[in-house]
Structure 1
Amino acid sequence: MDILKREIGVNFNSDHIAAVKVWAPKATQVAIQTGELLLELTPDLFGYWSLPTALIKPGDRYEFILDNDQRLADPASLSQPDGVHGSSLAIDTRYNWTDADWENIPLQDYIFYEIHTGTFSHDGTFKGIADHLDHLVNLGITAIELMPVASFPGKRNWGYDGVFPFSVQESYGGAAGLQQLVDLCHQKGLAVVLDVVYNHVGPEGNYLDAFGPYFTDKYKTPWGNAINFDDQGSDGVRNYFIENVLMWFRDFHIDALRLDAVHAIKDFGALHILEEIRCHTSFLLEKTGRKHYLIAECDLNDPRYITPIDENGFGMNAQWVDEFHHALRVTAGEPAKGYYKDFSGIQHLAKSYTDAYVYTGMYSVVREKTFGRMPIGKSADHFVVFSQNHDQTGNRMLGERTSKLFSFEMYKLMAGAVLFSPFLPLLFMGEEWGETNPFLYFVDHSDPKLIAQVRKGRKEEFAAMFDQGETPDPQDEATFNQSRLNWELIGEHRHACIFSYYQQLIFLRKKYLSSAAHKAPEVRVLAAQNCLLLERKCADPTQLVWCVLNFSTQQFVLDIPDHIVILKELVNSASSTWLGPGEPATEDLTHQIIVPSESFIAYSAKYV
């Protein structure tokens, strides 16, 4: 494998020669057709077929023909202008980049902002995102995270039903639109994270099996057949996804990949696919001098995923931690139903602040087994946390955002809990102004049977947690339209206040905690008051940020610990500045403070 260029699909060199290569190990004859032109490919080793030709040009539509019978789009297609059932478009991914001076920021400085391209702006395109980048810079965001952009059926989808992993969704702006967005982000100092799906391929428009053994019935996933990473014929499958990783980094200048649900990747080979991806990524870094990160979504509470390869791990740089979210929501008053049954509230939130994982070898009622392992030696910048994201919002029956589920005061408290945590914080689009439109699950399939299955599946999924109301129809375009952000809200008084509040929290995090943000805090639980006290150490070992998180509906008086001296108040969510009820008068900050109900307070302090 030449790590510096894409080797599968149709690619163009500097002499405008097309290099055509496809993996079709079961075929006895392979051809490529564009217009009236039909060209035979030559068999190579290990099931590959190839052809160099000057007869195919950028802009040509083409298909592969297997055994004079099956006419199929390129599995490594870079563009599907006519949708997932149409032919492929040959494009040249070379782009006139202006980001030569861009250097990816340290992962520990990432403040993520998750975006669904189709609902983020009125246009629903990469250009629509570009138009709002100054808003994100002004907020203090350092990295945008795009939900999957691989080509999917129709024009409406979360992106996890993608069937052409190399092709950028045409309705979003295609490959060129994504490159333009990344280039502009880098000009503005923003890193770009892309969500990719390597645990399954969507059902509609999925023709991979016609080319080779991309799937295996040895394992199952909740979304369909498992990808064949360790069964017979898996070498070509592994190479396919490794090529995909390298393409995003090399040809699109993506700074980090978020690998969706890696716990659903089944690989019992001696060299796990994630480890191999890590090895190839590291080799690319050596060749190009650029920095790229791999971030895994994983619910196994297994630190092996974020352990370096030389310590027998898989080498991921970081992972999403749902358990912080679950513990935070239950502490804030979310009913302990469904998967929330495993979380007791304040005690589990305290444990997550300390250990990242809540379950580290305890019995899980929901899983009905002992679960998890301590992430010993893992600093907090290995973990991404949030109070809401696409999953936790969209997988509610009515897609309610946090702003609709909790009080205004609790909303501000939860923001403080995330942004003053030692972990890497992630915001979900619109969170920073308290967006009230829902984020629902939506699709745009063309197969009536599949549409019926999706509708039925969503209703069954909600049965354990939601027992009221009618499930919105995922196929209905109105469901998609309801999920669009309402940018006009940000100009309204309360929503403008929330934006300023988030802006202040991010500013304070950068100012006081940036150099020491990922040291584990000292945590004290006041169970009777449903309150947590956090001691966040600063770069100066004599300094700290002392945080009070009162999740109760009662105000109370709190004794200041003897070992600290408060210097000044940094932020108080109950302040009238943030449209709170107003801070109770505290004559001095020597011995006691009055803690308002549902409040987040942070003080600059020093050790005695």
Structure 2
Amino acid sequence: MASSTPEASNLPGMGASVNPDGGITFRVWAPTCDQVYVAGNFTNPQWNEGKIALAREEKNSEYWSIFVKEAKVGDHYKFVISRKDQPDLWKLDPYCRQVTGRINLNDNSPRENECVIINPKLFQWDKKKFDMPLWNELIIYEMHLGTFIDNGDIARRFLDAISKLDYLVELGINAIEIMPCTEFETNTSMGYNPSLLFAIENHYGEEGSVQQFVNEANRRGIAVIFDVVYNHLGPDDLSECFWRFDGSYKDNYGGIYFYQDERAQTAFGATRPDYGRPEVRQILRDNAMMWLHEYHGDGLRLDSTVNIRRSEQGDLPDGWQLMQWINKDKQPNRFTIAEDLQDNEWITKKVEDGGAGFSAQWDCGFYNIIRSAVVSNEDQSRSMSSISDALNKRYNNDAFQRIIYSESHDEVTEQMG
């Protein structure tokens, strides 16, 4: 089926992109390997024996691509990275939008977790445009899908959560912040250990269920904000995709997607993305735009932005530029929140003024002061001046550049030990 000399695809898109006239373009960044193949159930013979070689692209030789006419939506695939100095690496697509989860093939096959080709443009959104509540009127409900609803079927979380949207309306909220919902290790997690960036966690449902949830929330006047993690990846399950993706690495570090020195080190291991590489900034920016454009998200909350803009070794200017890029490219009516927790006004200054450009940032100081006053048994232990300061605090002389809260997942986790 494949020609002896593959030709790079002239169609756009990363990962597996659906051509409206049929067929799929596969494209991947793998700068140091000798050859990249795509294997799937659309080849003849299937998978390894029929794998198809991708071609290096002329404009940028670090990218590989191929157009496969026989591939279609619903097919399964993986990339095969070939190097002369090591065995072939079977890798999930960094841009893949859905995975099968573990498949027990009983043959020691590297295919035990496969990418699924999907078309995110098939969902039929309501024609009526959703008007997001005014930012200074947002009342945000932080939602962990894994515990928000339990019907005994852990693979339908997004769809099942729709049944409780009316309850949230009665509660008085007008925005939901979905805690990270892309693939992570095990079936239960808060989501801050992403192993993939674009694929929805299997136990939360398939891709279409996310759009349906957003659509139903918007119908009820509820905005949806997606929580994303760009300060680190994993650290678990990374070997299936990002970790040493094309086989190259330095010392004990993780290869092309991660810093190859001490800047990689985070509280979760040496898994900080290398913001200095344009290709790494690109995939993170593309991910942010996916939530806002394809999923019609009304906003983003970026986890631990302080660890995007600096490491133990000092500032990371490329991380700052990444955040500016995301905030510059989002639509004007989209709301972005930084969890920085450093009282840094530059986080919410405009990009054109040198700031990171976020709409608002979390203010944990409010929680600490107000909670201390509420739980204290003695009046003399309460500081009214501290309460006044907490209520009147501003960033850049704007009261609405901060998100105040009485509780969040961090406090709940701390209280539970």
Same fold (TM over 0.5): yes
The corresponding residue for 1:296 is 338
The corresponding residue for 2:140 is 112
Q: Does residue 274 of structure 2 align to residue 255 of structure 1?
A: no
Q: How big is each residue's C-alpha offset from its partner over 1:544-603, in whole Å with a ceiling of 9 and x where there is no partner? A: xxxxxxxxxxxxxxxxxxxxxxxxxxxxxxxxxxxxxxxxxxxxxxxxxxxxxxxxxxxx
The corresponding residue for 1:354 is 392
Which entry has the higher C-alpha Rg, 1 or 2? 1
CA distance in 1, matches of 2:134, 2:179: 21
Shift in alpha-carbon separation, 1:6–1:118, aligned structure 2, 3 A: farther
Q: Does residue 113 of structure 2 align to residue 86 of structure 1?
A: yes
Identity of aligned residues (%): 27
Alpha-carbon deviation of 1:334? 6.3
CA distance in 2, matches of 1:380, 1:110: 13
Alpha-carbon deviation of 1:18? 1.3
CA distance in 1, matches of 2:125, 2:373: 47
CA distance in 2, matches of 1:270, 1:162: 18
CA distance in 1, matches of 2:237, 2:333: 34
The corresponding residue for 1:598 is none
The corresponding residue for 2:323 is 274
CA distance in 2, matches of 1:259, 1:157: 18
Identify which range, 17-26 or 312-321, moves more after superposition.
Answer: 17-26
After the TM superposition, which residues 405-416 of structure 1 pair with which residues of structure 2 at under 5 Å, given as runs?
Answer: none
Q: Which of 396, 400, 406 is equivalent to 1:376?
A: 396
Alpha-carbon deviation of 1:28? 1.8
**1:92 is aligned with what amino acid?**
N
**1:218 is aligned with what amino acid?**
E
Q: Which of 146, 150, 162 is equivalent to 2:178?
A: 146
Shift in alpha-carbon separation, 1:275–1:131, aligned structure 2, 3 A: same
Alpha-carbon deviation of 1:269? 3.5
TM-score, scaled relative to structure 1: 0.56
The corresponding residue for 2:5 is none
Q: Which of 79, 103, 106 is equivalent to 1:64?
A: 79
Q: Secondary structure at the match of 2:136?
A: helix
Q: Does residue 372 of structure 2 align to residue 330 of structure 1?
A: yes
Shift in alpha-carbon separation, 1:350–1:99, aligned structure 2, 3 A: farther
Divergent runs of 4+, >3 A: 228-231, 343-347
**1:129 is aligned with what amino acid?**
A
Q: How big is each residue's C-alpha offset from its partner over 1:232-273, in whole Å with a ceiling of 9 and x where there is no partner? A: xx1111001001011111111111011001011132249621
Shift in alpha-carbon separation, 1:83–1:304, aligned structure 2, 3 A: farther
After the TM superposition, which residues 436-447 of structure 1 pair with which residues of structure 2 at under 5 Å, given as runs?
Answer: none
CA distance in 2, matches of 1:316, 1:171: 31
| Structure 1, unaligned runs of 5 or more | 336-342, 357-374, 399-608
Shift in alpha-carbon separation, 1:147–1:17, aligned structure 2, 3 A: same
**2:278 is aligned with what amino acid?**
D
Q: Secondary structure at the match of 1:56?
A: coil
Q: How big is each residue's C-alpha offset from its partner over 1:116-140, in whole Å with a ceiling of 9 and x where there is no partner? A: 0011012350122100011111222
Q: How big is each residue's C-alpha offset from its partner over 1:191-235, in whole Å with a ceiling of 9 and x where there is no partner? A: 10111100011122113132252111332221222523444xx11
The corresponding residue for 2:23 is 17
**In proportion to residue count, which structure has more strand?**
1
CA distance in 2, matches of 1:223, 1:171: 23
Q: Secondary structure at the match of 1:165?
A: coil
The corresponding residue for 1:225 is 270
Residues 228 and 302, structure 2, Cα contact 8 Å, conserved in 1 = yes
After the TM superposition, which residues 135-174 of structure 1 pair with which residues of structure 2 at under 5 Å, given as runs?
Answer: 135-174=167-206
Residues 83 and 154, structure 1, Cα contact 8 Å, conserved in 2 = no
Residues 38 and 51, structure 2, Cα contact 8 Å, conserved in 1 = yes
Q: Does residue 233 of structure 2 align to residue 209 of structure 1?
A: no
Q: How big is each residue's C-alpha offset from its partner over 1:493-520, in whole Å with a ceiling of 9 and x where there is no partner? A: xxxxxxxxxxxxxxxxxxxxxxxxxxxx
**2:99 is aligned with what amino acid?**
Q
Residues 229 and 273, structure 1, Cα contact 8 Å, conserved in 2 = no
Alpha-carbon deviation of 1:34? 0.2
Q: Which of 195, 204, 207 is equivalent to 1:175?
A: 207
Alpha-carbon deviation of 1:397? 3.5
Shift in alpha-carbon separation, 1:206–1:120, aligned structure 2, 3 A: same
Q: How big is each residue's C-alpha offset from its partner over 1:371-392, in whole Å with a ceiling of 9 and x where there is no partner? A: xxxx332x11111111111111
Shift in alpha-carbon separation, 1:230–1:320, aligned structure 2, 3 A: same
CA distance in 2, matches of 1:249, 1:12: 20
The corresponding residue for 1:361 is none
| Structure 2, unaligned runs of 5 or more | 1-10, 104-111, 246-254, 311-315
